[in-house]
């Protein structure tokens, strides 16, 4: 239940953050990069907060630790994924430029999902390490 709640909260918060970034008139590549990173940060923080509020059974949780190496790898992979989505949507938008208006929201939602799933399950970094 903790994971489902974390995913729902992170997706909603990430999507709202992406919609807010769309309102700013920044360079689209910068907006997409910021959307990916803030979505990932939101997802990670939501998952950490849920883990602290509802820890697994028989586990006394007092703190959450973050390793710099893991954060650097996850941030880099999330940035690359966000830019791949950015340029992929550019290439496939074609005659529907209205689709590009939702690009920061979509990228932020994907970043939030990466953050939640990476923190909650730790599966995002196992193949890399």
SS (H, E, C) the chain: CHHHHHHHHHHHHHHHHHHHHHHCCCCHHHHHHHHHHHHHHHHHHHHHHHHHHCCCCCCCCCCCCCCHHHHHHHHHHHHHHHHHHHHHHHHHHCCCHHHHHHHHHHHHHHHHHHHHHHHHHCCCCCCCC
Q: What is the pLDDT of residues 36-52, one digit of tens each?
A: 999 999 988 888 888 77
Q: What is the pLDDT of residues 64-73, one digit of tens each?
A: 666 778 788 8
- Higher local confidence (pLDDT), 39 or 22: 39
For the full predicted model, state whether its pTM sits above 0.75. Answer: yes
**Sign of the torsion formed by the C-alpha atoms of 37, 40, 44 and 49:** positive
Assess contact for 51 and 119: CB atoms under 8 A. Answer: yes
Q: What is the pLDDT of residues 73-98, one digit of tens each?
A: 888 888 999 999 888 888 887 767 77
């Amino acid at each position: 239940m903790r994971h489902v709640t974390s995913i729902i909260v992170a997706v909603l918060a990430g999507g709202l953050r992406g919609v807010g970034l769309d309102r700013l008139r920044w360079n689209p590549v910068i907006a997409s990069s910021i959307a990916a990173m803030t979505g990932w940060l939101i997802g990670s923080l939501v998952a950490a907060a849920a883990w602290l509020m509802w820890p697994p059974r028989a586990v006394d949780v007092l703190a959450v630790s973050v390793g710099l190496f893991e954060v650097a790898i996850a941030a880099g992979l999330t940035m690359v994924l966000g830019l791949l989505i950015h340029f992929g949507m550019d290439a496939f938008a074609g005659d529907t430029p209205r689709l590009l208006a939702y690009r920061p929201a979509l990228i932020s939602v994907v970043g939030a999902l990466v953050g939640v799933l990476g923190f909650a399950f730790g599966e995002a970094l196992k193949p890399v390490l």
